[in-house]
Amino acid sequence: MATQAGKFQCASCGAGMEWDPAAARLVCPACKSGLEVHPLGSLDEIPFAEFAGQQRRLSETALEVRCGGCGAVTQFEPGQVAGKCPFCAAAIVMQPKAADPLIAPHGVLPFAVTSDRAAGAVKAWLGGLWFAPNDLKAVAQQEGLQGVYIPYWTYDAETYSEYSGRRGKWFVDQRGQRQLAWTECSGSVVCAFDDVLAPASKAVQPARLDALEPWRLDAVKPYEAAYLAGFKAQRYQVELKDGFSHAASKMRVAIEGMAVRDIGGDQQQVTGVRTRYAGLTFKHVLLPVWIGAYRYRGQVFQVVANAQSGTVSGERPVSAAKVALAVLLALILLCAWLYLRD
């Protein structure tokens, strides 16, 4: 398979072939001929310092268009139309232009969930919405799902952290009362991180994307434009350095967990952590999602589905009456709990 993108013409009938998530290969929509994709490149980690010099086009033919509604830049191959913005459902009226050079992805996780399966998962998710106003389901079904590759950074690093903290131990005093004695402590922990993900999209909230995890990143393939045939891809909106801040905050959670285990005792407090990073490398990868955006009472709501696992995460309109009821119920439970505890 040549990396020359855009025209994945069917050898039998000349129609444009598209990636088929169920068959895991290119399939001709006209005559159903199939074609395996064999990536040429390899999926190497890139040292942080070699960030410059990575500017390449997604493909020689890729077009891109900016949504006037939400500002997201979507890329696609000729033959597809920009149509509706996958992120905010606004109609795209701007003229597409040739994609500007950018860091072309190193890896891509091909779609594995078909649009039908994703629609079923989203329908089940909407059906389970406890807070949703009753008329939401009808509204939500009016918009279809679009398959989009979302840009991510992944980071590898070895960390060396020095922490300070306190160790708590229970003891029984002279009056027979259980007491917690704290002693100051410090130490160091070493961690190795592999493929810590940071979304490089601002068109979908980070929390919503985090809710799509876990991804099985061992299935990521070296980038090949053929995987994008029939789908859109979003240009990254978060710079490599800013993505690292997100990844570093995830690493910090793991490092503090290690420090807590290192402290030992009955209870632990971590008061400070200083971390040095070694062997910091990154990859730019595209991960597949199905996105539905719908309008409800003038507001836009998103539902996204992980197109590898089928996991759904979405935004829900909230009915004021149902929220009031839920808050009341929570208060009753809290009071009951406080009452039983005494």
User: Among 9, 12, 179, 245, which residue sits at the site for Zn ion (rule: CB under 5 A)?
Assistant: 12
CA distance 142 to 146: 13
User: Should residue 28 be labelled a site residue for Zn ion when binding is judged by CB under 5 A?
Assistant: yes
Q: Which of residues 71-100 bind Zn ion (CB under 5 A)?
A: 85, 87-88, 90
The least distance separating Zn ion from the CB of residue 116, rounded to whole angstroms, comes to 22
Min dist CB 289 to Zn ion, Å, is: 15
DSSP string, 103-114: E--SEE----S-
Which residue, 82 or 259, has its beta carbon nearer to Zn ion?
82
Could you tell me which stretch among 45-53, 60-68, 263-271, 326-334 binds Zn ion (CB under 5 A)? Answer: 60-68
Residue from 31, 180, 181, 207 touching Zn ion (CB under 5 A): that is 31
Stretch of residues binding Zn ion (CB under 5 A), selected from 7-15, 35-43, 180-188, 241-249: 7-15
Question: Nearest approach, Cβ of 112 to Zn ion (angstroms)?
Answer: 23
Q: For Zn ion, give the closer residue by CB, 107 or 199.
A: 199
CA distances from 70 to 85, 88, 204, 220, 319 (A): 9, 7, 11, 29, 25
**Segment lying near Zn ion (by CB under 5 A), choices 61-69, 166-174, 189-197, 254-262:** 61-69
Identify the residue among 5, 67, 196, 251 touching Zn ion (CB under 5 A).
67
Residues contacting Zn ion: total by CB under 5 A: 15
Does position 209 interact with Zn ion (CB under 5 A)? The reply is: no
Burial class (CB in 10 A: 0-12, 13-18, 19+), 52: exposed
Task: Answer left, alpha or beta for residue 195, where phi above 0 means left and psi between -120 and 50 means alpha.
Answer: left
Query: Is position 293 an interface residue for Zn ion (rule: CB under 5 A)?
Result: no
Pull the structure tokens for residue 241: 């350095």
For residue 287, give the nearest of 263, 302, 305, 312 by alpha carbon.
Answer: 305
Which segment (33-41, 48-56, 268-276, 323-331) binds Zn ion by CB under 5 A? 33-41
Say if residues 272 and 35 touch (Cβ distance below 8 Å).
no
| Nearer to Zn ion (CB atom), residue 85 or residue 197 | 85
Q: Which of 1, 24, 37, 70 binds Zn ion (CB under 5 A)?
A: 70
Q: Are 219 and 180 in contact (CB under 8 A)?
A: no
Residue 127 is which amino acid? G
Q: Which is nearer to Zn ion, 58 or 92 (CB)?
A: 92
| Among 2, 22, 30, 328, contact with Zn ion (rule: CB under 5 A) | 30
CA–CA separation, 117 and 150 (whole Å): 19
Torsion of CA 72, 78, 84, 90, to 10 degrees: 40
Q: Does the footprint of Zn ion cover residue 294 (CB under 5 A)? A: no
Distances in whole angstroms, Cα of residue 233 to Cα of each of 85, 162, 196: 12, 41, 21
Question: Which residues are within 8 A (CB) of 276 and not within 5 positions of it... i.e. 6 or more apart?
Answer: 159, 160, 161
Considering the complex, state which of residue 159 and residue 201 has its C-beta at the smaller distance from Zn ion.
Answer: 201
Nearer to Zn ion among residue 17 and residue 228 (C-beta): 17
Q: Should residue 149 be labelled a site residue for Zn ion when binding is judged by CB under 5 A? A: no
Site of interaction with Zn ion (CB under 5 A): 10, 12-13, 15, 28, 30-31, 33, 67, 69-70, 85, 87-88, 90
